[in-house]
Structure 1
Amino acid sequence: MDKVRYRTTPDSAISLIEGDYHEFAFQRHYHLDFHLGLITQGQQRFAYQGAQHQVGHGELVIMPPDELHDGRSLAESGYQVRVFAIEPDWFNQHLELARPQQMMSFDRLIVSDPQLFSRLCHLHQALAQPSLSQLAKDCLPYEGFSGLVQRYGASKERAPVALGRQSLATLKEYLLAHLDQAVRLEQLAALCDLTPTQLQRHFKARTGMTPYAWLSRLRLEQGMKLIKTGISGTEVAQQVGFYDQAHFTKAFKHTFGVSPSAVGHCQ
């Protein structure tokens, strides 16, 4: 049976996932955050940038934000994973990148490093403990992730994804400000100074998704962030543009494998 648990941590920019997946398969999607996945049992298969990848016990997957991918178990026995979801700006703020326009990147998708894997597993367990001391809450993420960055990370310039006269980042900002409204294709096309047909073609070529599918995922990603802050499912559904809580709950569970009410909070 599939089991998954989402948790917040004392740092609002970092959240945790504990997953035991057998039948549940992630369809093509993206995240707003970095997802660092520690495979603690079994093997996972996923598609990323046109290639198929496998990752197994003791390996770490580093999935950057806004990158399209899927995921499923390689065998019927399933796989277990512990995931850190980290907002991109956390690295800028805590690891002092040279300039704000830079972003963190990593030189590999899959990391096989037993020492680092063990350290990050212990960090994941520690951050899930509500009894963690305040000083530990403040220091442990820096200690854990700085090792990862020192070995495999580098800063790079943020490369804008062009959509007509705008960028995908600009479009994302616009949509995040209007998630509770009915957005029309003509609005987005006008924002980018493109025709609706041109926008659909350019958007699919650059993201691998239609504008509708991309916006639907954005609504659910933002919904997850709001649920983690303790806002009720009814209010979140309204804020991210769902007609009612029932539709939001159904889409949320289909996407994340749990209902909004099952997302946990660490005190």
Structure 2
Amino acid sequence: MKKETRTIVYDEKLKIEAYLLEGIVQPFPNHFHEFYVLGLMENGHRYLNCRHLEYSLSKSDMILFNPNDNHGCAPIGDETLYYRGLNIPQDSMLDIVEDITGQRKLPVFMKNVILDEDAKSYYQPLHEMIMQGSTEFEKEEYLYLLLSHLLQNYAQPFDVITPKSNNELEKACDYIEKNYAKRISLDEICQIANLSKSSLLRAFTKIKGVTPYRYLETIRINESRKLLEKGIQPIDVAQQTGFSDQSHFTNYFSSFTGLTPGAYREIFLDKNQHDE
């Protein structure tokens, strides 16, 4: 039988708590929380009772608990539970919702259980980055993308503020292009552009087709190519282009190009030697 593990991480920047339950077989009695709970079933089957409704939970189901939503669950069958959870205090939720909607009101999620691939695609990397202690502002992006999506689709009524003009966005792009080698934050970019985090994200994805963090990483990768082509060592390229470490650089470079930085560099070393 797999050992039960419970891992909890509090993110000081986001002011939310992430936890991971692995190999869990115990039932949880009827209870409620004072905070919001966003959960994702990664494995297992569970019976859930929430607000007098009954659900059968399985892989990829997401859970949305409002504060004071009473709920309890128990295992179905022999599969153990693998579950990701995020606990969001009401004050933190208020700050984010105000940024997204312009209204400082706590949302009420109308559904407690959803199956939504878009929400899952935001949730999983967000949760993993919190658990790993990531300091990249991509983590904030995923939180805002997730909550914007949930507010628009499962909380009523909420309108999203329309992004401002291209001038603000170009200021943000210019700042990223000039400072890509430094560790910059989402707060800095928002201040330069005079946009909220939510408005900045929507403007970028609408006009540029990518998030601010992906824009930053693309700039870094493009610059790193130029340095590798000159024969500079990958470890030095990582430092000169703003990556937190060589492993981070290698992972991103490989995902963009299909080659490791070392293999890419070798191509141009061979070419230069042949030209000579």
Report the TM range for the smaller structure's normalisation: 0.5 to 0.7
For the pair 1:110 / 2:113, whether they are aligned, the reply is yes
The counterpart of 2:21, out of the listed 9, 19, 27, is: 19
The counterpart of 2:68, out of the listed 58, 66, 69, is: 66
Post-superposition CA distance 1:155-212 (Å, at most 9, x none): 58xxxxxxxxxxxxxxxxxxxxxxxxxxxxxxxxxxxxxxxxxxxxxxxxxxxxxxxx
| Larger helix proportion of the pair | 2
Distance 1:123 1:111 in 2: 18
TM (norm. structure 1) is: 0.52
How far did residue 32 of structure 1 move?
1.3
Over the residues paired in the alignment, what is the CA RMSD in angstroms? 2.1
The counterpart of 1:141, out of the listed 128, 133, 143, is: 143
Q: Provide closer, same or farther for how the CA distance between residues 103 and 6 of structure 1 changes in structure 2, counting only shifts above 3 A.
A: same
Q: Provide closer, same or farther for how the CA distance between residues 95 and 51 of structure 1 changes in structure 2, counting only shifts above 3 A.
A: closer
- Does the 8 A contact of 2:7 with 2:19 survive in 1? yes
Q: Which residues of 2 match residues 149-164 of structure 1 at below 5 A? A: 149-154=151-156
Partner of 1:36: 38
Q: Percent identity?
A: 18
Aligned residue pairs: how many?
A: 154
Q: Provide closer, same or farther for how the CA distance between residues 13 and 155 of structure 1 changes in structure 2, counting only shifts above 3 A.
A: farther
Q: Provide closer, same or farther for how the CA distance between residues 137 and 50 of structure 1 changes in structure 2, counting only shifts above 3 A.
A: closer
| Larger strand proportion of the pair | 1
Partner of 1:9: 11
Distance 1:56 1:80 in 2: 10
Q: Provide closer, same or farther for how the CA distance between residues 59 and 66 of structure 1 changes in structure 2, counting only shifts above 3 A.
A: same
Post-superposition CA distance 1:4-49 (Å, at most 9, x none): 1111113353110101243322112111111111001111112122
How far did residue 103 of structure 1 move?
1.6
> What amino acid maps onto 1:105 in structure 2?
V
Distance 2:79 2:26 in 1: 12
Post-superposition CA distance 1:213-246 (Å, at most 9, x none): xxxxxxxxxxxxxxxxxxxxxxxxxxxxxxxxxx
Greater relative contact order (Cα < 8 A, sep 6+): 1
Q: Provide closer, same or farther for how the CA distance between residues 39 and 63 of structure 1 changes in structure 2, counting only shifts above 3 A.
A: same
- Does the 8 A contact of 1:104 with 1:153 survive in 2? yes
Partner of 2:51: 49
- Tell me the SS of whatever aligns to 1:75: coil
Deviates more, 1:88-97 or 1:116-125: 88-97
Q: Provide closer, same or farther for how the CA distance between residues 13 and 130 of structure 1 changes in structure 2, counting only shifts above 3 A.
A: closer
- Does the 8 A contact of 1:103 with 1:155 survive in 2? no
For the pair 1:119 / 2:136, whether they are aligned, the reply is no
- Does the 8 A contact of 2:123 with 2:143 survive in 1? no
- Tell me the SS of whatever aligns to 2:26: coil
Distance 1:37 1:140 in 2: 15
Q: Which residues of 2 match residues 177-188 of structure 1 at below 5 A? A: none
- Does the 8 A contact of 2:47 with 2:57 survive in 1? yes
The counterpart of 1:129, out of the listed 125, 129, 132, is: 132
- Does the 8 A contact of 2:18 with 2:84 survive in 1? yes
How far did residue 110 of structure 1 move?
0.9
State which structure, 1 or 2, has the greater radius of gyration over its C-alpha atoms: 2
